Amino acid sequence: MSWKQELESRLKTQESLEKLFPLTADEREFFNVSEFDGSCFGFLSTRHFAALAEPATDDPIRRQFVPTAQEFVFRSYELADPLGEEMHKTATRLIHRYHDRALLLVNDECAVHCRYCFRRSFAMSGKGVLAGRELRAAASYLAKHREIKDLLLSGGDPLVLDDRPLFRVMDEVKKARPDLVVRIGTRVPGALPSRVTRGLVRGLRARSPVWIVAHFNHPRELSEAASVAIGRLVDSGIPVLSQSVLLRGVNDSPDVLDALFRGLVGLRVKPYYLFQGDLAAGTSHLRVPLERGLAIMKELRLRLSSVAMPIYAVDLPGGGGKVPLTESYFEGDDEDSWRFRSIEGRPYRYPKEK
Ligand SMILES: *Cc1c(COP(=O)(O)O)cnc(C)c1O
Ligand code: SF4
């Protein structure tokens, strides 16, 4: 089957899902409500991703793509636009939040609808692929704002597009700013690995420098097919980073993240970010308390090399942007030295030099 056919034959209905495994009452309840409530973030998954799930009701893959009625539980502090992206929009699809970087919302389609998605309101907006007018507006903004050096293509997932519309966006952007470094945020290597064709890789290579930031949350996502997809990218000289979201019942344990990050490094992928869950409405059952995230990272620091360690970060609600979250090993100073704790918790000093 071609990747295009795989995309066409994605699972979209309760019936298609029930052919894989029986649903729980909570999962069925989601479908009952979503039938008459169009504001739900619909169910969608590639067969490849769904096949990674095992039948257990608390399976870590299943929790990522099978909706449940828990999504109807809203917390007062949850937000429709958790990162405040609307306020940083310049051209209609361009978000300029950080001085030297910008993010372009290329399309609104994804390989799979992740149940924790913070950009769900865009991913289901029906806005489609960036129109020519929007692309020209973004390109002219980039041409005027020379301080932007790095453009992140996101959505949706830009790699569910055909080569031609994807390369059209990249070429238009590069025409305005040949010096830009382009990053593509995508879940495709893990969720629709057949999309990473030789033609796609050649086209990306020809538009170098392009970095891929691939989204992986659980070691089981590093399937044989995903390894082949990543291997193709890296072999052709395209650097691949990963980003993950810390998710309850999916990867909120040092053992699972240890296996994930080691697995990625084994595939020549540098773990880049581990995100604290964003405050998207109806996702509290998937969020992990921040202090638990810090404790997990402290444990991982004892086990993993810095190559395998991502930056644990939170995107501050309401547009505050990303900040790194770190257990501090720095404890203060005396007159002639700085005081630290080693990762094992023992005290050490570093001299103050004049
Ligand atoms: C995450 C993000 C970036 C890229 O940030 P890095 O820390 O460089 O990965 C750029 N723009 C927006 C709006 C973002 O959310
Ligand atoms: S791939 Fe990204 S944008 Fe798409 S549903 Fe998943 S988290 Fe949201």
pLDDT tens for 147-183 read 999 999 999 999 999 999 999 999 999 999 999 999 9
Q: Which ligand is nearest to the CA of 217?
A: 2
Predicted local distance difference test score (pLDDT) of residue 313 = 98
354 band by pLDDT with thresholds 50, 70 and 90: confident
Q: Which ligand is nearest to the CA of 43?
A: 2
Atom of ligand 2 nearest to the CA of 185: 2
Predicted structure pTM score: 0.96
Predicted local distance difference test score (pLDDT) of residue 9 = 97
- Cβ neighbours around 236 below 10 Å, total: 13
Measured CA to CA, the distance from residue 65 to residue 113 in angstroms comes to 6
Does 89 participate in catalysis according to the annotation?
Answer: no
- Could you tell me which residues come within 8 angstroms of residue 83 by beta carbon, excluding any fewer than 6 positions away? 118, 278, 315, 317, 319
Measured CA to CA, the distance from residue 167 to residue 58 in angstroms comes to 40
Predicted local distance difference test score (pLDDT) of residue 327 = 83
Alpha-carbon dihedral sign for residues 175, 177, 179, 185: negative
Q: Which of 95, 117, 216, 246 to mutate to test the pocket of ligand 2 (most atoms within 8 A of CB)?
A: 117
Does 117 participate in catalysis according to the annotation?
Answer: yes
If you measure from the C-alpha of residue 78 to the centroid of ligand 1, how many angstroms do you get, rounded to a whole number?
21
pLDDT digits (tens, 9 = 90+) for 229-276: 999 999 999 999 999 999 999 999 999 999 999 999 999 999 999 999
Predicted local distance difference test score (pLDDT) of residue 188 = 98
Does 110 participate in catalysis according to the annotation?
Answer: yes
- Cβ neighbours around 209 below 10 Å, total: 13
Does 174 participate in catalysis according to the annotation?
Answer: no
Predicted local distance difference test score (pLDDT) of residue 127 = 87
Q: Which ligand is nearest to the CA of 82?
A: 1
Residue 98 scores a pLDDT above 80: yes
Is the Cβ atom of 95 under 6 angstroms away from ligand 1?
Answer: yes
Partners of 280 in the β-ladder? 79
Atom of ligand 2 nearest to the CA of 118: 8
Residue 352 scores a pLDDT above 90: yes
DSSP assignment of 314-343 equals EEETTTTEEEE-----EEEE-SSEEEEE-T
More confident residue, 87 or 225: 225
Q: How many CA atoms does the CB half-sphere of 144 hold within 13 Å?
A: 9
